[in-house]
């Protein structure tokens, strides 16, 4: 007994990309069904990234007061790059007249889910996609939480189902994509303590990279470079503070009980194909970046903005040109973000096989950036986000 649902756009994955797409489509009167295998609670409580580009915040403004990015989130007008024990501020406002917002991804998801449900969006949690059938009426083959088969038949299917995308097989096939792995990862902690610094600190030290970030007035998020196979249980709290503190010389970290630990593996990936026929990929289903440049969620939102415009032209006017252009147009920004994320990563981390030459060269690179108006502007422009329509 299969339940069949018909809609215009079937969206697999209720992450930032899928939910934002359903919102933009609804603004043009295009109905969609969004499914996600996770429960609402899982989606709203999984700790992910924290930085929103200005353009992402502006797009979130269009969901109305449901977006708390500007009220609960914090505008940051700069970051600090730290090396050789000294901090160097990259002043975004001064360099590019833009800013970013520190507002955790799970809070963005709470806002988007609340706004979509209030608007009557067909949003189904606990529904797992098993595959996508391409064709003039593509179908998502799925199962609900009780294992009952559900088929969603649509004019178009969008895979916003993350790095383990099921939709990718229908688009990129066996020819997967470009891939790079890194010989290090991040050990992330959440702790109960007020911020150690007003702005984020990206610190390069002889012992490896560390990032001092925040979540709220009482919770801090911090990371330090570690081996990808590190066991989170292998460190005592005291050892974690030692590791963090020695990588941020010059700043005294405010310590407090650590209530979450995780290891984030570093990958760069871009799928070879972003669209085939009536199926397209957005967000992590299409690409992955290491977290150093804070580009992941922002890139997903940028994809969606392009795809929403393309679907509008296709479904409302029968004009396929923007859809045909989508892979090339999206790829330009994707590869800029790939480069930026790789560049920030390689400039700030200490590779396990780094020679004395590599180390000095890296410090030379950092110095070329912070001591140059143009170097700082280059970093600031990428960090705050390139214009969305370019």
Catalytic residue among 195, 290, 291, 327: 291
Residues contacting residue 275 through CB under 8 Å, at least 6 positions apart: 171, 281, 323, 326, 327
Tell me the C-alpha distance between 212 and 320, whole Å: 45
Which tokens is 345 given?
Answer: 């990563």
Catalytic residue among 23, 287, 295, 349: 295
Residues contacting residue 358 through CB under 8 Å, at least 6 positions apart: 351
Nearest residue (CB) to ligand PHB, 49 versus 158: 49
Q: What is the CA radius of gyration of the chain?
A: 21
Tell me the C-alpha distance between 17 and 109, whole Å: 10
Q: Please tell me the count of residues contacting ligand PHB according to CB under 6 A.
A: 10
> Taking CB under 6 A as the rule, does residue 50 contact ligand PHB?
yes
For the bound state, the minimum distance from the C-beta of residue 376 to ligand PHB, rounded and expressed in Å, comes to 17
Question: Is 336 a catalytic site residue?
Answer: no
> Taking CB under 6 A as the rule, does residue 108 contact ligand PHB?
no
Looking only at residues 249 through 308 of this chain, which bind ligand PHB when binding is defined by CB under 6 A?
Answer: 291-292, 294
> Taking CB under 6 A as the rule, does residue 56 contact ligand PHB?
no
Which tokens is 270 given?
Answer: 């871009």
Nearest residue (CB) to ligand PHB, 221 versus 305: 221
Question: Is 202 a catalytic site residue?
Answer: yes
Nearest residue (CB) to ligand PHB, 48 versus 143: 48
Tell me the CB-side half-sphere exposure of residue 152, using CA atoms within 13 A: 30
* Binding track over 5-34 against ligand PHB, x by CB under 6 A: ------------------------------
Nearest residue (CB) to ligand PHB, 10 versus 190: 190
Tell me the C-alpha distance between 346 and 50, whole Å: 21
Nearest residue (CB) to ligand PHB, 17 versus 152: 17
β partners of residue 201: 80, 212
> Taking CB under 6 A as the rule, does residue 76 contact ligand PHB?
no
Nearest residue (CB) to ligand PHB, 50 versus 195: 50
For the bound state, the minimum distance from the C-beta of residue 221 to ligand PHB, rounded and expressed in Å, comes to 5
Looking only at residues 182 through 241 of this chain, which bind ligand PHB when binding is defined by CB under 6 A?
Answer: 200, 211, 213, 221
Which tokens is 274 given?
Answer: 């972003």
Burial class (CB in 10 A: 0-12, 13-18, 19+), 207: middle
For the bound state, the minimum distance from the C-beta of residue 196 to ligand PHB, rounded and expressed in Å, comes to 13
Looking at 46-128, list the stretches that DSSP marks H as alpha helix, in order from N- to C-terminal side: 54-61, 92-96, 105-118
Tell me the C-alpha distance between 17 and 70, whole Å: 20
Catalytic residue among 103, 182, 202, 223: 202
| Residue from the set 12, 19, 35, 49 that interacts with ligand PHB by CB under 6 A | 49
Helix (H) or strand (E) holding 364: helix 356-370
For the bound state, the minimum distance from the C-beta of residue 100 to ligand PHB, rounded and expressed in Å, comes to 9
Residue 274 gets which letter from DSSP? S
Looking at 83-167, list the stretches that DSSP marks H as alpha helix, in order from N- to C-terminal side: 92-96, 105-118
Which tokens is 379 given?
Answer: 């970093």
Contact (Cβ atoms closer than 8 angstroms) between residue 189 and residue 222 = yes
Nearest residue (CB) to ligand PHB, 162 versus 293: 293
Question: Is 295 a catalytic site residue?
Answer: yes
> Taking CB under 6 A as the rule, does residue 51 contact ligand PHB?
yes
For the bound state, the minimum distance from the C-beta of residue 195 to ligand PHB, rounded and expressed in Å, comes to 11
Minimal CB distance to ligand PHB: which residue?
Answer: 50
Question: Is 76 a catalytic site residue?
Answer: yes
Catalytic residue among 76, 103, 223, 287: 76
Contact (Cβ atoms closer than 8 angstroms) between residue 295 and residue 341 = yes
Query: Looking at the annotation, which residues are catalytic?
Result: 76, 202, 291, 295, 383
Enumerate binding residues for ligand PHB (CB under 6 A): 49-51, 200, 211, 213, 221, 291-292, 294
């Amino acid at each position: 007994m299969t339940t069949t649902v018909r809609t215009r756009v079937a969206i697999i994955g209720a992450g930032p990309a899928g939910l934002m797409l359903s919102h933009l489509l609804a603004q043009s009167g295009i109905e969609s069904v969004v499914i996600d295998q996770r429960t609402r609670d899982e989606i709203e409580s999984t700790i992910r990234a924290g930085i929103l580009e200005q353009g992402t915040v502006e797009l979130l403004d269009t969901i109305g007061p449901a977006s708390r990015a500007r009220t609960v989130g914090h505008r940051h007008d700069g970051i600090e790059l730290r090396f050789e024990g000294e901090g160097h501020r990259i002043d975004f406002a001064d360099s590019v007249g833009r800013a970013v917002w520190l507002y955790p991804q799970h809070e963005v998801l709470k806002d988007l889910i609340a706004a979509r449900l209030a608007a009557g969006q067909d949003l189904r949690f606990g529904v797992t996609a098993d595959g996508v059938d391409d064709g003039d009426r593509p179908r998502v083959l799925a199962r609900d939480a009780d294992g009952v088969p559900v088929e969603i038949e649509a004019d178009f299917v969008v895979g916003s189902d993350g790095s383990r995308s099921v939709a990718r097989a229908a688009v990129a096939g066996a020819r997967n994509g470009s891939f790079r792995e890194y010989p290090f990862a991040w050990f992330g902690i959440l702790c109960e303590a007020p911020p150690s610094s007003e702005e984020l600190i990206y610190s390069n030290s002889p012992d490896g990279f560390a990032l001092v970030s925040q979540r709220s007035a009482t919770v801090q998020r911090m990371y330090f470079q570690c081996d990808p196979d590190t066991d989170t249980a292998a460190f005592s709290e005291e050892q974690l503070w030692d590791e963090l503190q020695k990588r941020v010389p010059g700043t005294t970290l405010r310590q407090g009980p650590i209530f979450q630990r995780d290891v984030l593996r570093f990958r760069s990936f871009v799928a070879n194909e972003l669209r085939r026929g009536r199926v397209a990929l957005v967000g992590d289903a299409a690409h992955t970046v290491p977290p150093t440049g804070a580009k992941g969620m922002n890139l997903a939102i940028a994809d969606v903005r392009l795809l929403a415009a393309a679907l509008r032209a296709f479904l409302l006017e029968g004009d396929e040109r923007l859809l045909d252009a989508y892979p090339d147009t999206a790829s330009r920004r994707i590869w800029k973000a790939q480069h930026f994320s790789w560049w920030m990563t390689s400039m700030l981390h200490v590779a396990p096989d780094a020679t004395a030459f590599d180390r000095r060269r890296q410090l030379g690179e950092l110095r070329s950036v912070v001591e140059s108006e143009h170097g700082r502007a280059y970093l600031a422009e990428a960090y705050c986000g390139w214009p969305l329509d370019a």
